[in-house]
Chain A
Amino acid sequence: MKIKTNLVGGIFFIVLGTVLLLLMPNQIIVQDSIPFLESAKAAPFIALLMLIVGGIILIIQSLVFKKEQIVTLDFAVQKHALTVMGIFIGYALSIYLFGFLIASFLLIAAMVWFFRIKSKIQIAVIVAISVAVYFIFINLFHISLPGIGGVFLS
């Protein structure tokens, strides 16, 4: 699937910027007595304005000046990206549920399947590093990580 990134990106950010601007009165509540430029609204307003104006320029570049950066999105390629993202989500959830160590073993299983790692030495190295990261963070750098058991035991 070929995508005109200037056109699609421009439309996406105009819509996003406009929606966020419309939400501003509810999402940032400041006293009426504070001038706008001195209030907490000014900086996000300018950032959103940059997004909208940038989006308009991108659309003009695409439609008027025919300046376009076309990207071919191949599902056969992007399904791998989606798989990795799914693994990230699963890893984050399993850290919450089971703690860092058990979740890391689940991650290793998923990535060994994904990368088709067959070498036992490589798998052993990854397992050793996951355990090492856990203990290095806790014992050497005194940084706590979600312990074994996660939310169930904490």
Chain B
Amino acid sequence: MSDIFTLVFAELVSVPNFLIAVGSVLLGIIIGCIPGLTVTLGIILFVPLTYGMDTITAFIGLLGIYVGGCYGGSISAILINTPGTNSALATTLDGYPMAQAGRKNKALSISLFSSVLGGFLAAVVLLFAAPPIARVALRFRSPEYFALAIFGMTVIAGVSNENIVKGLMSAAVGLFISFLGLESLSGTLRYTFDTILLFAGVGLLPALIGFIALNQVIIKSVSYKLEIDSPEGSVDDTIADPPVKFFDLLKLVPTVVKSTIIAIIIGVMPGAGGDIASFVAYNEARRSSKHPERFGKGTSEGVAAAESANNAVVGSALIPLLTLGIPGDGVTAVLLGAFILHGLIPGPKLFTDQAVITYSIIIGLIFCNVILYVLGRLFTKQVAKVINLPYGVLGVCIIFFCFAGAFANSGNINEMFLIVPIAILAYGMHLFGFSIVPIMLGLILGPILEENFTRSMIVSDGNLLIFFTEPISCGILIFSVVFTYLVMRMNKKMAVVHQ
């Protein structure tokens, strides 16, 4: 084991990996702080750039964007009351009142400290919790993996807005698209309509670019076009007050630790992402506070609770992803896609077959949190100025990356053409209230579901009851149903809180 850690540290302190970590965390902060650019979008656009990198460097870059983006979301939440990411919504409750009271820098420094400490602690938990879970999961076979993939689909319950039926239908669209083209087990062609365009199926990356990135460009371009006639004026980005002193920040440690523990528990559950974790942690901080009446009016504990929670989710969401191959939310679903694109299958074997890569990713996450603190202290004021960047400029640049990324996936111009009809389909589904994240889950989990379903059918002579006669598989499926119900209930409560 010590040999592995020696290799891991040698990898992490190498100049390319260090530079990528610094660059990606900074890029993540910028992406996170611009309302309309999401962490998911940032990671999707970054994936094509990682093709020329080795696996460890690639994932340090992707995690750097994730870590930086979670903190970056709080910058616009605090300064303009508009969260850069969904998970920073709870930060607006006390962050913006602090900014209005002339305490912008104090709110930002609390946010940075809490984000880093929460993210750091969760990454340490990931380091120690993941290997034992992976050892247990090593006993799993096809029925259990199929059940786990079904469990992964329970994320749908958390992201289906008001109607879970629409969420399931969105997932079915994603599943169907993932089944197009050549089937891997038998080599059968499916729904190619005799066009060479569909022989290899729809590539995962072009599909993600079309469904998520290009679709967002259409949505955001329309709203920006409508805003052009009634501009709101630029944001006051002057940050004049001094930051909170380090000694005073230490007083927030109990709140941060408690919020981190809450977020770790919530973060490992599929479907319950950073937004739910930050609201639950915020509510708990208010409930247990000696001065609950100060919450919502600009209290430090409110910002600390929300921010430590949403950054802690980064580490905890990686626990089911790395050990079981289950994505916890939209961002980890894209990361799962990135693993597959780099030829890695997340799951228990990752800890034995690819130990150096796996531990480099986990310890790299800890490194990224440390780098976040340094970059946040140095550049938050400068990065805050990009909030004023017009979408006209950003949108065009995102389009460049979308098309270049889709082409880079396989060097096939057909894949670049595919992203346009996919984006149009996604926009249509968005208009009709169909959530896009389940499509993404269907696309990514589809091949895993099918492979393990077919293998289970072959070993059981087509007996569907195999999923229920195998105790672990049966347990996971029952838990999936119970869990879906719990997440739906939690969502209803969250909807009330949001209102």
Contact = CB atoms under 8 A, between A and B. Distances in A.
B392 A115 contact: yes
Interface in A133-154: 133-134, 136-137, 140-146
Nearest to A136: B49
Contacts of A92: 403, 416-417, 419-420
A117 B392 contact: yes
B401 interface: yes
B411 A144 contact: yes
A34 B185 CA distance: 13
A77 B222 contact: yes
Interface string A50-63: 11001101100100
Contact of A141 (B52, B168, B407, B434): B52
Interface string A87-107: 011011001100010001001
Contact of B399 (A29, A58, A81, A107): A107
A78 B225 CA distance: 11
Contacts of A115: 221, 224-225, 228, 390-392, 395
Interface string B435-468: 0000000100010011001100110001010000
Contact of A100 (B163, B172, B404, B442): B404
A43 B404 contact: no
Given A71-B433, A80-B221, A51 B172 contact: yes
A100 to B, nearest CB: 7
A133 B401 contact: yes
Q: How large is the interface on A (under 10, 10 to 19, 20 to 34, 35 or more residues)?
A: 35 or more
B4 interface: no
Nearest to B229: A116
A23 interface: yes
Interface stretch (B101-109, B252-260, B293-301, B423-431): B423-431
A129 B45 CA distance: 15
Contact of B172 (A27, A29, A38, A47): A47
Contacts of B185: 40
Interface in B212-242: 214, 217-218, 221-222, 224-226, 228
Contacts of B193: 27
Contacts of A122: 390, 392-393
A48 B413 contact: no
B190 A28 contact: yes
A130 B403 CA distance: 11
Contact of A51 (B169, B390, B397, B407): B169
A5 interface: yes
A5 B163 CA distance: 11
A125 B458 CA distance: 58
A143 B48 contact: yes
A104 B162 CA distance: 39
Contacts of A28: 188-191
Contact of B190 (A44, A78, A81, A108): A44
Contact of A38 (B171, B395, B457): B457
A22 interface: no
Nearest to A50: B172
Given A81-B218, A126-B393, A27 B427 contact: no
Nearest to B454: A38
Contacts of A13: 169
A148 B416 CA distance: 17
Kindly name the residue among A47, A50, A89, A137 whose own CB sees the greatest number of chain B CB atoms within 10 A: A47
A71 B163 CA distance: 14
Contact of A129 (B392, B400, B432): B400
Nearest to A89: B420
Contacts of A6: 163, 166
B352 interface: no
A33 interface: no
B218 A42 contact: no
Contact of A91 (B169, B176, B399, B446): B399
B408 A145 contact: yes
Contacts of B192: 27
A141 B49 contact: yes
Contacts of A125: 393
Contacts of A50: 168-169, 171-172, 175
A81 B52 contact: no
A58 to B, nearest CB: 6
B183 interface: yes
B2 interface: no
Given A27-B192, A133-B401, 14 more contacts: A20-B191, A27-B193, A40-B190, A44-B190, A46-B175, A50-B172, A54-B168, A55-B169, A71-B431, A80-B225, A88-B214, A92-B419, A107-B396, A143-B49
28 contacts: A3-B432, A9-B432, A23-B191, A27-B193, A29-B189, A30-B186, A36-B462, A37-B464, A39-B188, A40-B190, A42-B454, A43-B454, A44-B179, A47-B179, A77-B222, A81-B221, A88-B214, A91-B399, A92-B417, A96-B417, A107-B396, A107-B399, A116-B228, A122-B392, A122-B393, A143-B52, A143-B408, A144-B408
Interface of A: 3, 5-6, 8-9, 13, 20, 23, 27-30, 34-40, 42-44, 46-48, 50-51, 54-55, 57-58, 61, 69, 71, 73, 77-78, 80-81, 84-85, 88-89, 91-92, 95-96, 100, 104, 107-108, 111-112, 114-117, 122, 125-126, 129-130, 133-134, 136-137, 140-146
